[in-house]
Amino acid sequence: MTRLLVTGGAGFIGSAIVETALARGWRVRVLDSLRPDVHGAGYLPDPRVEFVHADVRDRNALAVALFGVDVVSHQAAKVGLGVDFSDAPDYVGSNDHGTAVLLAGMAEAGVRRLVVASSMVVYGEGNYRDAAGRAARPEPRRVEDLDAGRFDPVDEQGELLEPVLIREDAPLDPRNVYAVSKLTQEYLANAWVRATGGTAIALRYHNVYGPGMPQNTPYAGVASLFRSAITRGEAPRVFEDGRQRRDFVHSRDVASANLAAIEATGAGSVGTFRAFNVGSGEVHTIGELAEQLSRHTGGLAPVVTGEYRLGDVRHITASSERLRTELGWRPSISFEDGMREFAASPLRRAVRG
């Protein structure tokens, strides 16, 4: 029987992984700090789970949590774009220092299997091609273009670039503090593999949504922000022109991808590090997301504001072919079905700053 430790296992994605692992008959332990800016008021641990209430940077608690486990699913992290650069120390401390402490603890405990939550943000902008069909990676968008409502990346001649699916071998170009912290987690995991002979898989999540997302926080994903607005009786506010392309993947599909990755770490690929995109394979716009949620909830129609966040990218959509081919994973929830369920599902309690 697999003995699994899920760091951040009380969180949005972590709890979905826990539920899926329990359904497989695995023994599950959760390590979570229950940060109030993530969990809001109150948390009731599942009686089937051994719960360790501690920060992943607490070496003593971590040693207890790692005792007797076969594999770690590392989900504990500060997520989202952030409010401003003053968030940088918290991102680096929570994500990078936390991962370093975890990996050191795993080395000491002799735990040699790891799945780490990464993100699409490590790529920066998505993949594009120019009018001649050549691959192109645009520079970060300029403030003067965004102020003028020119949101789409262009080539050196000013011609629009065509967005295409991004693969794991694309250049990595993190463009905000959160993105840098996620890529650093990958680099730390790879260094741990080289030093210990362990096996690690990084799952680069695309836009995850589903029941139990946190509400009323600037660090939540866009689906949660739209749902929170509708719940307050407000119209969802869509930035830019709403045509930003994304891949929205359901949390249960992300959980099943984690279990496929966990099983792969025990399948004999010792001393390796491998990254995989986790996406639905469907391309939709942020405007479509807002429209779906408004329609399924009976809420106010979305408002396209033209506002922007400088750290955001324009288009990024996943090719999950590597995950499908190498690990046999398939998403099971369509955009339409997932939005219908999400619109009717409760969010996590409001968080405190």
- What residues act catalytically? 178
CA–CA separation, 25 and 3 (whole Å): 10
Angle, helices 98-109 vs 59-66, to 10°: value is 50
In terms of Cβ atoms closer than 10 Å to its own Cβ (0-12, 13-18, 19+), residue 265 is: buried
Residue 250 forms beta bridges with which residues? 209
CA–CA separation, 45 and 30 (whole Å): 9
Find all residues with CB under 8 Å of 251, minimum gap 6, and list them: 12, 13, 16, 208, 209, 210, 211, 212, 213
With tokens 């399924």, the residue in question is 296
Residue 309: CB atoms within 10 A of its CB come to 11
Shortest CA distance to 210 belongs to which of 252, 258, 260, 257?
Answer: 252
CA–CA separation, 168 and 181 (whole Å): 18
Length of the chain: 353
The tally of CA atoms less than 13 A away on the side-chain side of residue 331 is: 25
CB 118 within 8 A of CB 258: no
CA–CA separation, 90 and 95 (whole Å): 8
